């Protein structure tokens, strides 16, 4: 297995202060490419997801390319299996940007493990 740890440079639209810890945007062993390039993702991922949430819940549309489960599968830490926590991909950047999406109150922050899925469970 390939452990290519890449620490990404950040272009968050927030002023860094000396006391604020930098977010840990580490993409461990990427399983594939993101749904859009980095700069697009940084700027628009919130709209992709929110827009889809409205359409999913109100109109029952599902299975499009910006699936929250797929974000988590690719971006979960290889050590905690989660996108939350101080080093978590989503939470570390959100703490830095001082945003608190409520998504993980309902949605799982854990990657759906392939061995579990292979045993019959489907996302």
6 DSSP β-pair partners: 27
Residues 6+ apart with CB under 8 A from 24: 7, 86, 87, 88, 89, 92
Nearest distance, CB of residue 88 and ligand HEC, angstroms: 8
Nearer to ligand HEC, 60 or 120 (CB): 60
Interface residues toward ligand HEC, by CB under 6 A? 8, 10, 12, 23, 25, 27, 30-35, 38, 41-42, 45-46, 48-50, 52-53, 56-57, 62, 66-71, 74-75, 83, 89-90, 93-94, 97, 99, 101-103, 105-107
Nearer to ligand HEC, 42 or 110 (CB): 42
Nearest distance, CB of residue 73 and ligand HEC, angstroms: 6
Nearest distance, CB of residue 118 and ligand HEC, angstroms: 18
Nearest distance, CB of residue 99 and ligand HEC, angstroms: 4
- Name the phi and psi angles at 95, rounded to 5: -60, -45
Report the greatest alpha carbon distance in the chain: 49
């Amino acid at each position: 297995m390939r452990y290519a740890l890449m620490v990404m440079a950040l272009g968050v639209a927030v002023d860094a202060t000396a006391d604020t810890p930098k977010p840990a945007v580490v993409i461990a062993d990427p399983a594939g490419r993101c749904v859009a390039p980095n700069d697009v993702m940084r700027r628009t991922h919130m709209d992709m997801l929110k827009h889809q949430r409205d359409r999913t819940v109100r109109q029952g549309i599902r299975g499009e390319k910006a699936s929250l489960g797929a974000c988590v599968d690719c971006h979960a830490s290889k050590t905690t299996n989660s996108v939350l926590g101080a080093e978590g991909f989503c939470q570390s950047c959100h703490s830095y940007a001082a945003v608190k999406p409520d998504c993980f109150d309902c949605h799982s922050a854990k990657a759906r493990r392939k061995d579990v899925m292979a045993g019959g469970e489907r996302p």
